[in-house]
Structure 1
C-alpha cells in the first residue's frame, strides 16, 4: 500500500485495471516499468499526493491488472495501452492530466502524449528513449546489455518456457543489477515484484508487451517521425548517469528531436530512478508542472 492512496479495480475497455490513487489537485498519472508494479512510485506518489491527485495503475497484464482482451501482441501496443490509460483517467473523472512514466511506462506515456495531445498537459519520461530510436541504437556489444529485448520478443512460447523455469532468477537479475543504490528496493517490495511477475499469465503478458515493441510500436514511432509529428506539451526527460559507459546514442539529442519544449535531468543512480532518487525525481516533476 502507498500511504495516502486507496486501491481499487476499474473496468476499462472490456478489461480491468488495478489502480492506487489519492490526493487532491491537478491529476498526474504515474506509469511503472519492467518488472515492477505501481509500487515503484510509492515514494514519489506519497509526496506528490500532498498537492496533486496521483493515479498509479498497474499496466495491463502486470501486477493486479488484467491483460488486454485478445491474445495478440498488437493488443499490447503502446498505442492501445495509452488509449486504455486515457480511458482509465476519464473513468476517474479526469479529461486532462499530466503523465510521468518510467521504462515501459514511459513508452506508454510517450505514445499517449503523441496520440492524445489535447489530453496530456505535461510529459515526463524516465530512463528510456523512444522504441524506434532504441532499436536503431542497439548494435554490437551494446546489445548484450539489452539482451532481454531480443529474448522476450521471441515467438512460439520460447521465452515463456525459459523464464517459467526460474522466474525469480530471471526477474531478480534485473532488480539486482539495474540498481546502484543498496536498499532502494527493499526485500518486501522485491518479493512483491517477483510474485506479481512470476505467474505464467504475467510472464506471457510481459513477453507480449516486448513483442509489441519489436513488431508494432517501432512502426508507429517511425510513421510519426516520417509525418513530422512532435510533442506539443512541455517535456521532461531524465536518465541515469552512465558513468564510464559510452552510450551508443545521446539521450538529450534524441528527445530534443521529438520535444521542442524539452528540459532534461541526469541523476547519479541506476535504472530505477523513482526508487533510487525519489526526492530528485519528485522535485523535477514539480518543476515541470510549475507547482513547487
Structure 2
C-alpha cells in the first residue's frame, strides 16, 4: 500500500461521468483545497496539510489522471478530457460533494494551472488562490525561447500527437519521472524513499493520462487563456504566488506577468527547490496562512 497522510480520512468521490477522485480530508474550519503537481500525488502536501488542518478543513485530492484517481482515456488525442477547465470543474464538484460551496484553493505546478483556471471560471466559489512555482499557460509558452527552452523539454515532448510521447516515456518511466524528482529538488532528503517510490509507482501507471494533461496545455488550455486575456478577465480574489526566481534565470519579470492576471497579488520568490511544500513546508504554510488572513 502507498503511504497516506496520517490523521486524514480518505474518500472516493464521483465528479463526472465515469470519473472519481481520491481525496484525503482532515480538520475543521474554513475549507482549503490543495492540488499537487507533477510528478507527484496528493502526498506532496503531507506536511503543509497537517499544519493547516489544525484550524481549517483540508482537502487533498489526486487530480484526474494522477495517483489513485480515475484516468479516463484521451480517446481523440485532443487532450480535451484533461483541459484545466475540466479538471477545475472536477475540483469544484469534489468540494461541493464534501459540503463546501466556497473554498480557498492552492495548487503547485500542474495543480496550480488547475487552480488558476478554477479561479477564472469560478470566481464566486474560490475565495483565495495560491499558485506555487508556475506561470499561467499563456505566459509559460511566451517566455520559453531559444536554448533556455531546454529546461522545458518535457513540455514539447508531451505536446506531440498521441503515440510517440507515450511510447518513449513508457519505455523508461522511472528514469523519466525520476529525472524531475532529482533535478528539481535542492534537498533530496525532502522526498524520502517510500514517498519517491509512491510517486514513481503512480506515474508508471498513468503515462497516457499524464501526457494528455500536458498535451492539453499546448492546445485547449492555451486557447482558454488567450480567450480570457482577450476578454480582459482577471482573478478577482486575493492571490499569492510563490516561485523560484525563474525571471532572473530566464530573463522575464514573473511578478509583472502574474499581476496582469491578478490585481490583488502578493508575489514572492523562494530559495528552495521546485518541491517547496516538501523542502520548506513551514515557509509554505506561513505564506498560505498569510493569504487566508486577507
Query: Which TM-score bucket, shorter chain as reference?
Result: over 0.9
TM-score normalised by length of structure 2: 0.95
The aligned counterpart of 2:6 is 3
Cα offset, 1:275, TM superposition: 0.7
Cα offset, 1:70, TM superposition: 5.6
CA offsets, 1:249-292, max 9 Å, x none? 2110111110010012211111111111100000000000018x
The aligned counterpart of 2:223 is 219
- Take 2:73 and 2:32, find their aligned partners in 1: how far apart are those partners? 26
- Confirm or deny that 1:96 pairs with 2:102: yes
The aligned counterpart of 1:148 is 154
* Unaligned segments of structure 1, at least 5 residues: none
- Return closer, same or farther for 1:236/1:54 CA change in 2, 3 Å cut-off: same
- Take 2:170 and 2:73, find their aligned partners in 1: how far apart are those partners? 22
Cα offset, 1:233, TM superposition: 0.3
- Confirm or deny that 1:137 pairs with 2:143: yes
Contact 2:74/2:212 (8 A) holds in 1: no
- Take 2:55 and 2:250, find their aligned partners in 1: how far apart are those partners? 37
Cα offset, 1:69, TM superposition: 6.6
- Take 2:252 and 2:62, find their aligned partners in 1: how far apart are those partners? 30
The aligned counterpart of 2:49 is 45
- Confirm or deny that 1:192 pairs with 2:210: no
The aligned counterpart of 1:287 is 290
Contact 1:138/1:248 (8 A) holds in 2: no
Contact 2:22/2:61 (8 A) holds in 1: yes
- Confirm or deny that 1:182 pairs with 2:188: yes
* Unaligned segments of structure 2, at least 5 residues: none
- Take 1:267 and 1:70, find their aligned partners in 2: how far apart are those partners? 36
Contact 2:74/2:209 (8 A) holds in 1: no
Contact 1:4/1:23 (8 A) holds in 2: no
Secondary structure (helix, strand or coil) at the match of 2:107 reads strand
Count of residues paired in the alignment: 288
CA offsets, 1:201-245, max 9 Å, x none? x100000001100011011001100100111000000002459x6
The aligned counterpart of 1:84 is 90
CA offsets, 1:107-155, max 9 Å, x none? 0000000000000000000000100000011100111010000001111
The aligned counterpart of 1:28 is 32
TM-score normalised by length of structure 1: 0.96
RMSD, aligned α-carbons: 1.3
Contact 2:182/2:188 (8 A) holds in 1: no
The aligned counterpart of 2:134 is 128
Q: Would you identify which runs of 4 or more consecutive aligned residues in structure 1 move more than 3 Å?
A: none
Cα offset, 1:83, TM superposition: 0.7
Cα offset, 1:178, TM superposition: 0.4
- Take 1:251 and 1:226, find their aligned partners in 2: how far apart are those partners? 20
Q: Which of 240, 254, 262 matches 1:236?
A: 240
- Return closer, same or farther for 1:112/1:242 CA change in 2, 3 Å cut-off: closer
The aligned counterpart of 1:246 is 249
